Amino acid sequence: MTNKKRVQQKPSTSQSELFQQGQNLRSKQISNKDLSGQDLTGISLSGSILLNIVIRKGIIRGADLRSTKIISSKIINTDLRWADISNSYSLSTDFSNSNFGGCRFENSRGKVVNFRGAIFLQVIATACEFEKVNFRNSNISETNFSDSQFLYSNWQESKITRSLFNGCQISNGNFNEALIKEINFANSFIDNSSFLKSTFENVVLQKTKFKNCDFQGATFANVDFLETEIAYSNFRNCIFHKSINLADKYLAIQLIQENKGTELANLDLSYSDLSHCNLKGLNLQKTDLSGTSLEGSDIRDTNLSGANLQRTNLKGTKVNSGTKIDKKWKLIWQLLNDGKTIGNLENADLSYAYLQGVDLSGKIANNADLRFSDLRNAILKTSFIKADFSSAILNGAELGGSNLTESIFIESACKHASFNRCNLYKANLEGADLEGANLTKAYLEKSNLKNTNMLNTLCYGTNFSKANGDPDLRYIFTDEKTLFP
């Protein structure tokens, strides 16, 4: 009978024996373990690989998880406060409803990670890279995400307060219905992201760039948009409170077009199209509206005091006694809309005015200042003795029969304008463009025609006697009654 040697087996090590408080398990690979409910405070797993680990309602406070790879794991409703998770990599892992208060995440990476319902309080997560990460319903406060990248991140219905996102890059983010309060997004780039019905309160967006973002229905209070760049974005039905600082033209135009907010002072809205807009009651004090069209807009009870209205189109705008507008521009508005009530314009300041198509017939305007004004297709049949039209635009204007003695047209644009039978005695037309203009039977004795463009000008019966400046009259139309210098 053969005697069999009995082999004594070692007792199996339980999970509670493997993982204990303060235990050092650095650079280990730990797979397929369920550590739910355990207290692993201070455990060191630095450099380890955690694969298919399950921890529910666990305690990992103050753990060393530096450079750890956490893959396909579930660490749910777990206390991770004060853990060091810097330089870690998480993949396909669920951290939902866990508490990360006081954690360090610097230079960490995460892909397909679920932080839904998690708490981030006083977390340092700078220079991180997150892709397809879910922060929905999370509570984030006093956390620093500066210089981090977020690709396809979900922040819907989260509360994000008193935190830093300086220099971040956020692409395809979902912030719908999120509370964004006391946040600094300065110098960040945010594109293809949605902020539907979100709330921005005491937020700094200085030098932030937004592209293809949807803010529809969002609320903004005490938001600083100084030097913000916004392109191809939607602000429909947004609510803007008075203290907002809007320095971005694109955004401000959208707000004005929808009449959102009343404090829009000191903006640069130059060369914009605000025609047929409801501007009623807005504060546009000291706003730069130069070159902008307000044609057909409602500016009743609107404050335009100190606004730059140089070459601003005020044609057809609605005003009332509550409209505040500087005296000069009020006169321009009257000439465009109610010219019959205006008398003579001697010594009037009409410089830099938009007066296209205006009819000034019969209004004596001797010594008037019309420099840089836009008088295209205007009817100007009156007396403009010593008036200054320097650098004005008079293309297609009708001045037939006007007295323009000693008037100044230096560098003015007068293409196809009619000076038929005008008195231009001693007029200064140096550098003016008279191409195609009609000077038939005009009187230009002793006028200055230096560098004047007279290509294809009609000069039938025109008197150029004693004209100065050695004018080039080779390409004008003349007849036997034309008198040359």
Tokens of 438: 């009609």
Give which of 56, 28, 52, 51 is closest to 40, Cα–Cα.
Answer: 56
312 phi/psi in degrees, rounded to 5: -85, 130
First to last CA, the chain: 146
Looking at per-residue pLDDT, the higher value among 232 and 87 belongs to 87
Biggest CA–CA distance in the chain, Å, is: 150
Domains of the chain: 262-342 (2.160.20.80), 345-485 (2.160.20.80)
Determine how many CB atoms are found less than 10 A away from the CB of residue 480. 6
> Across residues 13-34, what is the average pLDDT?
67
pLDDT digits (tens, 9 = 90+) for 251-307: 666 666 555 544 556 666 777 777 877 788 878 888 888 998 899 988 999 999 999
Tokens of 71: 């893959």
Contact between 29 and 51 (Cβ < 8 Å): yes
**pLDDT in the model for residue 281:** 82
> Across residues 98-113, what is the average pLDDT?
97
> Across residues 369-380, what is the average pLDDT?
98
Three-state SS for 409-440 is: CCCCECCCCECCCCECCCCECCCCECCCCECC
What's the CA gap between 347 and 345, in Å, rounded? 6
pLDDT digits (tens, 9 = 90+) for 322-332: 999 999 999 99
